[in-house]
């Protein structure tokens, strides 16, 4: 159930990143009032981020899910978060992911960044644990001389979480026969990383095609076995060359950035 809850949260956050061809989900005036109230609440809670991280995430999730940001002229959820709240894209999605997967008590106890890193660890070890296991969880932290040591999550640092996640992903790559470089990385990307890659691809397409990118759909699909794929639909024929060039450039950049941060 925890896996489904986490996946649903990630899916909800991912949907909010794409522009809506169908328009707002609420009447404009209603959406404006709802957005203004949410913005005021979030700004007030930003005075104490540690204590209010979970609540901020729930507010942001509603803004994203209902596409309230469109009511005040923002094309994307990320644009609203940056321009109105001073939150980077990564920070905004961290709040949404963590609030969707963990309880308010967990967010207050461990902080958004550490719990977000834990979600990445879960994604790298899908057969083992889920968010509900976090309080008593032990992390397999690699040792400098080889091997691993199991540490309680509460005592594991961010650096150790990164190292543990990287080691688990490396083990997965070693189990995959054939392939190279970007293909190997894409094959083992977790849900969060795929969303980051997709966001980078969408931004590159928008930049390359401008207005012609309206309605263009980009999807990143990472397979457990076989070759991962990037799907690009709705590109005007006369813009195909520019779209493919932007896609090639963005894939290399996005994969490198996401993997380096793991």
pLDDT band at residue 180, thresholds of 50, 70 and 90? Answer: very low
pTM, two decimals, is: 0.59
Asked if 114 contacts 161 with a C-beta cutoff of 8 angstroms, the reply is yes
Quick one: pLDDT at residue 1?
41
58 vs 60: CA distance, rounded Å: 5
> How many CB atoms within 10 Å of residue 118?
26
The domain locations on the chain are 2-101, 104-175, 186-261
Quick one: pLDDT at residue 118?
92
DSSP three-state, residue 246:
helix
Quick one: pLDDT at residue 231?
72
Is 19's pLDDT higher than 70?
no
Mean residue pLDDT across the chain: 76
Provide CB contacts within 8 A for 140, sequence distance 6+: 148, 149, 150, 164, 167, 168
pLDDT digits (tens, 9 = 90+) for 106-153: 999 999 999 999 998 888 886 666 777 787 888 989 988 778 899 999
């Amino acid at each position: 159930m925890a896996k489904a809850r986490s996946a649903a949260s990630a899916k909800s956050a991912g949907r909010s990143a794409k522009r809506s061809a169908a328009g707002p989900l609420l009447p404009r005036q209603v959406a404006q009032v709802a957005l203004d109230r949410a913005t005021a609440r979030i700004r007030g809670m930003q005075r104490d981020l540690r204590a209010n991280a979970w609540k901020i995430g729930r507010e942001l999730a509603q803004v994203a899910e209902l596409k309230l940001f469109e009511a005040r002229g923002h094309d994307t959820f990320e644009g609203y978060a940056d321009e109105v709240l001073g939150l980077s894209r990564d920070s905004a999605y961290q709040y949404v992911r963590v609030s969707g997967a963990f309880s308010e008590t967990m967010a207050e106890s461990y902080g958004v960044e550490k719990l977000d890193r834990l979600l990445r660890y879960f994604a790298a070890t899908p057969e083992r644990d889920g968010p509900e296991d976090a309080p008593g969880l032990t992390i397999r932290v690699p040792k400098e001389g080889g091997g691993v040591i199991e540490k309680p999550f509460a005592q594991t640092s961010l650096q150790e979480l990164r190292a543990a996640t990287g080691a688990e992903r490396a083990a997965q790559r070693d189990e995959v026969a054939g392939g190279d470089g970007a293909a190997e990385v894409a094959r083992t990307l977790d849900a969060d990383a795929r969303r980051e890659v997709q966001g980078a691809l969408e931004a590159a397409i928008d930049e390359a095609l401008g207005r012609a990118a309206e309605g263009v759909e980009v999807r990143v699909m990472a397979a457990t076995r076989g070759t991962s794929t990037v799907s690009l639909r709705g590109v005007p024929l006369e813009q195909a060359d520019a779209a493919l060039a932007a896609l090639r450039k963005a894939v290399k950049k996005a994969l490198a950035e996401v993997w380096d941060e793991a």
